[in-house]
Amino acid sequence: MHQQLATALVKSGNRVLFIENTGVRAPRVGDFIRISSRIRNWVRSTRGFFDIQENLTVFSPIFLPFPYSWLALIINRFLLSRSIEKWMRIERYQAPVIISFLPTPLAQSLVEYFNPSLAIYYCANDMSGGSAGAGRLKRHEDTFLSKVDAVFCISHTLLEYAGQLNGHTFLLPAGVDYEKFEAARENDEVPSDLAAIHGPVIGYVGAISGVFDQTLLVYAAHALPEASFVLIGPEVTDVSLLKACPNIRLLGKRLHNDVPRYVKGFDVALIPYVKSAFTDAVYSCKLNEYMAMGVPVIATDLRELRFYVEHHGNVLEIARTKDEFVERIRHALVAGDDTRRAARIAAAQQNSWDQRFADISEVINQLLIVKANERLDWQSRLTNYYHRGRIRIIKVVLAAIACYGILFYTPLVWFAGDQLAVRHAPKVADAIVVFSGDGESSYINQSYQRRALDAIQYYKSGYAPIILLSSGRDQTFSEVEIIRSLLINRGVPPRSVEILEKYPRSTFENVTFVKDALAKHEVRSILLITSPYHSRRALWVWRKAMPELVVLAPAVVDTPRANPQWRASIDQIKIVCYEYLAIAYYRYKGWL
């Protein structure tokens, strides 16, 4: 329906940007094909934009498929609005009329962002009642109904509901491409797969979904074994009941351009929907397609079909029971090409897309005139502009406050840092290795005093007979010399402390330089003393460089507590972020 509308708008001289569906529910496993198709469209297009024909551009956006997530909404609105805005600027596309078939938060947000000359919600079906996953859409739809300039509805049920929330509602149901069906009726042949089926053909075109009354169709098929019931359309529900019936044939999905030729081969056409609140609000698009071919139509008792009969006369048969459904099919087969054929074709002609678009165009023009005549002085426009600006600023400030709170007043940073800190239980080893200084030149670490205390504690507790000191900082007073002095001052014998004279530029070089000293002392196990957030990365480097060496990284004096901490400092955030970036870089270099 929306594709037909877009095409009709282009034919009348308008430029149209058609934005593909952004969804009303979260994705499921079965949506993989649709998702992959969307990605292919993006790759093959120019940033998601591609021309279908002159003045008709399609935008197939990539977005986060979570329509009711506030975070996804902020990200999606930012990405889509920037893309659309750039396209509009290049195309000099200004003050558009926006017609939305979706009332989702994202659709509403984009309508508000672009401040169109006219905003219309085309209510094509009961969105919130269409599936369990879309049920939460109801409150968003009500909001949209009350905010837009006008609402177009395809059925009386939707019109009555929308009229309670919006004073500008119009009944504009789906139309039919009458010229295409007329050409097929007069000139085309029935497709070979349908022509090969013997006996009367009772046909249906459309999706076989949850609203399709399979029980009714099987009942009719058993009652009319001489007829063939042919179903054309995608199967979106379990159809085992239908497949078990010998005179029911499922031909599957067909191109819409081939539909007229198939309907031409029907002796009777069906609309066998389950009666419910949802189907009572549906205007069947296939109804006028059947009518355009002059085929007798038998349907279940749906509200919108009763209105159709009231308006166009007795051009279709409505059955209220299973037996009545069968009887009306049987009568249509016996009557053959009855006198109502011309009336059916005339009804379709009155509901052609050309006629429907003329109605839509007239309504849009009237609404634009009304809006143009509304008195809205520059003060009001400027006030509205700043009001929208304040709302944007408030949203940005609230988002910044939320991010600040999450970073500084939740355990998020503690949790991220806790994955970096190693707390091995200390065991007797051959040596204590102390890494001090900057693992990288930009990583400022002033904790060498604490590393000295850690080394003294483990040495005096008898965990190792020697201490090897290595630093990444070369300065006037070497850190390792200071640590050595502190160790000796606290009673560690000078012969038990060894300094590496080289100054590594990274943890990887640090490990490489220490390897020679370990080999000299025939060391097979070490206690690694380093900054707590550095311990995980250092441990992984040791395991990659010397897998045969037993390396333990015990807790040090500034190792954070194991229980969650609800506050974080700027320095802590910087160090944690640095370590994760360093780990990523080390993985890229193959050092881990």
Per-residue model confidence as pLDDT tens digits over 448-484: 678 888 889 999 999 999 998 887 655 445 667 788 8
Is residue 282 scored above 90 in pLDDT? no
Q: What is the mean pLDDT of the chain?
A: 87
Which CATH superfamily hosts domain 416-589? Answer: HUPs (3.40.50.620)
Q: Which two tokens stand for residue 350?
A: 């009155």
pLDDT of residue 445: 47
- Give the percent of the chain with pLDDT over 70: 91
Is residue 31 scored above 70 in pLDDT? no
Q: Which CATH architecture has domain 2-171?
A: 3-Layer(aba) Sandwich (3.40)
Domain ranges of the chain: 2-171, 178-351, 378-408, 416-589
pLDDT of residue 127: 65
Per-residue model confidence as pLDDT tens digits over 64-81: 888 888 888 899 999 999
Q: Beta partners for 317?
A: 298
CA dist., res. 162 & res. 104, Å (int): 16
Q: Which two tokens stand for residue 205?
A: 């075109």
Which of the 8 DSSP states describes residue 424?
B
CA dist., res. 34 & res. 123, Å (int): 23
Nearest to 227 by CA among 257, 172, 183, 267: 267
Q: What is the CA radius of gyration of the chain?
A: 37
Is residue 446 scored above 60 in pLDDT? no
- What strands lie across the sheet with 16-19, from one edge to the other? 16-19, 56-59, 49-53
Distance of CA 191 to CAs 194, 196, 200, 258, 293, Å?
Answer: 6, 9, 15, 8, 15
CB 290 within 8 A of CB 272: no
pLDDT category, 440, cuts 50, 70, 90?
A: very low
Once rounded to an integer, what is the mean pLDDT over residues 539-555? 93
Cβ count near 29 (within 10 Å): 5
Does an H or E element contain 468, and which?
strand 467-471
Does this chain's domain 178-351 share its CATH topology with 416-589? yes
Is residue 232 scored above 90 in pLDDT? yes
The CATH number assigned to the domain with range 178-351 reads: 3.40.50.2000
